A and B are shown apart, each in its own frame.
Chain A
Amino acid sequence: MDSAREEILTKVRASLGRGPGSPVAPVPPTARVKSRTPGPLDAEIEQLFIEIGKLNGTTRRLVSKDDLKSALADLVKAEAVKKATCWTTPDLTTSDVAGILEALGVKIVSPQADKHLVAECELGVTGVDAALPETGTLLLRSSPERPRVVSLLPRVHLAILRRTVLRADLHQAFAEAKDAGYCVLVTGPSRTSDIELTLTLGVHGPKSLYAWLLDAP
């Protein structure tokens, strides 16, 4: 195995006329682009929601716990949710999303449960670690409280975000997330145009994406 490594690196160096210790030039400044200047927070949120809407996502602003309760009740009804799974981050635990869902008669499946059980859920609820207004993009990290499958296996993905997660652009989001081990940018529900270029939602990932801004504890 090592011989392949040495051979490839030797060939690459020979092709480039470089040696093992050859100096490395910095990335040229022409290869960089400027970062975006964000607008006022409310305008940023507005833009985020518009972009998510354009990509067939559904957005909603919630200003109180009661709002959250009624929004969840609407969602459970609209999407015929019987089973749900939910991130267990402090933020989602504090807002008691799982508790509200249970009170609505939804069975809560642990996000750490076997993948077959998580796949049976109609709804997966996650938080959001960064949001990018320009493209309507949500950045989700991975950790024991943030299992990757929650935003992937269920038919419906509900992402609950806070004002504090808005970022100007990828430059800023990446600066924070690059050492995370894993993250995913989610922009709208799963989609394809592979059959006769007809846009179809929900190929393998969620068919519906809900992004709610929660302005309450």
Chain B
Amino acid sequence: MSQATVPIDFRTNAQHVPPKMPAAVQKATAKFLGTRAALVEALGNDLWQTLRQASHDLRLHAITHLDHCLERAERAVIKAGGHVHWARDAAEANRIVLEIARQHHVKKVVKSKSMATEEIGLNHAMEAAGIQVIETDLGEYIVQLKGMGPAHIVVPAFHLSKEEIAELFREKLGVDAPAEAEKLTQVARMKLREEFLSAGLGISGGNFLVAETGTIVTVTNEGNGRMCTTVPPVHVAIVGIDKIVPDWESLTVLLKVLARSATGQKITCYTQFISGPARTEAETGPKELHLVLLDNGRSRILQSPECRETLLCIRCGACLNICPVFNNVGGYTYGYPISGPTGMMFASQILGAEVAGGLAFASTLCGACNDICPVKIPITEILLHLRHRVVEGDEQERAVAPSLLRAGARVGSVALRTPWIYRLGSTLLKWFQAPLKHGGWLPKLPPPLNRWTMVRPLPVFASDFRAWWRTRSREAKGPQ
């Protein structure tokens, strides 16, 4: 299986976040948010809000006409000389890419950063088949050497210090370089240059797929994305079916909001537009281009009108940067390559409530993500619906919350509505808590209530609310 089947336990993961993680995360997110805010100010808030609304409207148009857009893109890619493959799930996508690699007797693949390939576990599948896959985005290269996944969708290795990276390079590459960003980057450039020139296949994702001309758009800064799609003789692009936009005019809007929201740039260093393989024999560039259109649960997300807008996401990472939870736990805690608010929405639907339903609860619902999202996804509304799905079930999934929890919720609801049960409960609680009391707190409760106390103590139950209210009113009046 290429997709996680073990339930993701965010709460437990959050207990094991090293203290240096929030420090590194907050340094990065503060920087991105700061440069982003300065650019929004330069544009003026009115124009920025117009751009957000336009981005939302055109992404929504694209996904609500997805069948039409996909067929149009397919026709255009084929017309331009490319091959189009459709993958229902992760396993099928991996099989398709492996088959292409086998046909070309590929031993080595260079890959640019792509969340779709992280989602399907492509590297693992390729390596299991004896094909070496080299991540070429500097951050991804570093975390790959470290044997980890990305800690942030835009800056994957932001939690590692330059000293740790220097040590990693010494150990894995046998290169003794001083712990300086510039020197370490040069080491990676040199090492990866050889790989680009010798790889038989280049794999990329796609930030957008333009239906009008079948154009794969990649937005990068380092140039590795260009290398992977220019230097090897064959290019495979794995693109989620949700990445589609109707036409080039749409790009004029989305490119404006993407880089600003992601890294606080007006535009990234390299934005590439690839429509088919190299057109003539004399032109450099891949002679063969394969586009893999990945569903993997997206068509099901589309089914739910409440959750559909999950698919508007352009993976800028702004919601990660602003999220108070993400800022304290970092990416790994989410147990999924796409982390933060957008990752929670996406993972709990793609992996299903059974595996990732818990992620929908890893939010304070403060709504900062809604306000920063450049395509105006109502993230907290979707998370609320997903919580509802986990606890009570909906037309897509049955309830997966423990039956004890659901029973507890029902009992609670009855008790709060029935005065005599409430009064009785208040009295009983005072007795039951006595042996567990530690000062004014209940530091440890038996399961399943320990889900709360493993994170923080519960204050002791002090009084029946009604009794307290009566005393309070008397005290408020005071002796007159």
Contact = CB atoms under 8 A, between A and B. Distances in A.
B68 interface: yes
Interface in A183-217: 183-198, 200, 202-206
Main secondary structure of the interface of A (DSSP, over half): loop
A186 B267 CA distance: 9
Interface stretch (A42-50, A64-72, A97-105, A171-179): A171-179
Nearest to A8: B295
A85 to B, nearest CB: 11
Given A28-B57, A30-B53, A143-B283, A178 B212 contact: yes
A194 B230 contact: no
Interface in B3-51: 27-28, 31, 50-51
A192 B274 contact: no
A16 interface: yes
A144 B253 CA distance: 31
Contact of B271 (A5, A169, A184): A184
Contacts of A198: 162, 181-182
B302 A15 contact: yes
B299 interface: yes
Nearest to B50: A33
A195 B183 CA distance: 11
A192 B221 CA distance: 6
A184 B252 contact: no
B150 to A, nearest CB: 11
Interface stretch (A75-83, A111-119, A158-166): A111-119
Given A30-B57, A170-B252, A191-B221, A11 B295 contact: yes
Interface stretch (B81-89, B124-132, B317-325, B412-420): B81-89
A51 to B, nearest CB: 8
Interface in B243-279: 246-253, 255-256, 263, 266-276, 278-279
A205 B231 contact: no
A200 B165 CA distance: 15
B193 interface: yes
A171 B244 CA distance: 19
Interface stretch (B136-144, B398-406, B464-472): B136-144
B226 interface: yes
A25 B61 CA distance: 8
B283 A194 contact: no
A147 interface: yes
B450 interface: no
B460 interface: no
A93 to B, nearest CB: 16
Contact of A149 (B230, B246, B255): B230
B300 interface: yes
Interface in B203-251: 210, 212-213, 215, 221-224, 226-227, 230-231, 241, 246-251
Contacts of B137: 194
Interface stretch (B153-161, B328-336, B355-363, B421-429): B153-161
A115 B251 CA distance: 31
A90 B184 CA distance: 41
A13 interface: yes
A188 B269 contact: yes
Contact of B165 (A143, A195, A206): A195
A27 B86 contact: no
A15 B299 contact: yes
Interface in A1-56: 1, 4-5, 7-9, 11-16, 18, 20, 22, 24-25, 27-28, 30-33, 55
Contact of A148 (B27, B161, B247, B285): B285
A8 B285 contact: no
Contact of A197 (B51, B158, B193): B158
Contacts of B161: 196
Contacts of A137: 267
A204 B283 contact: no
Interface in B130-186: 136-139, 142, 155-158, 161-162, 165, 181-182, 184-185
Contact of B88 (A8, A18, A152, A180): A8
A79 B477 CA distance: 84
A135 interface: yes
A195 B185 contact: yes
Indicate the member of A15, A142, A179 with the most B CB atoms within 10 Å. Answer: A15
Given A148-B285, A191-B221, 14 more contacts: A16-B66, A22-B68, A25-B61, A25-B65, A174-B248, A178-B210, A184-B272, A188-B269, A191-B269, A194-B158, A196-B161, A198-B181, A203-B188, A205-B226
27 contacts: A4-B85, A4-B86, A5-B86, A11-B300, A12-B241, A32-B54, A33-B253, A55-B269, A143-B283, A152-B227, A170-B251, A174-B248, A174-B249, A174-B252, A178-B213, A179-B213, A180-B273, A185-B270, A187-B270, A190-B222, A194-B185, A195-B165, A197-B158, A204-B196, A204-B226, A205-B222, A205-B269
Smallest CB-CB A-B distances: 3 pairs: A205-B223, A31-B58, A144-B282
Interface of B: 27-28, 31, 50-51, 53-55, 57-58, 61, 64-68, 70-71, 80, 85-88, 92, 136-139, 142, 155-158, 161-162, 165, 181-182, 184-185, 188-189, 192-193, 196-197, 210, 212-213, 215, 221-224, 226-227, 230-231, 241, 246-253, 255-256, 263, 266-276, 278-280, 282-285, 293, 295, 299-300, 302-303
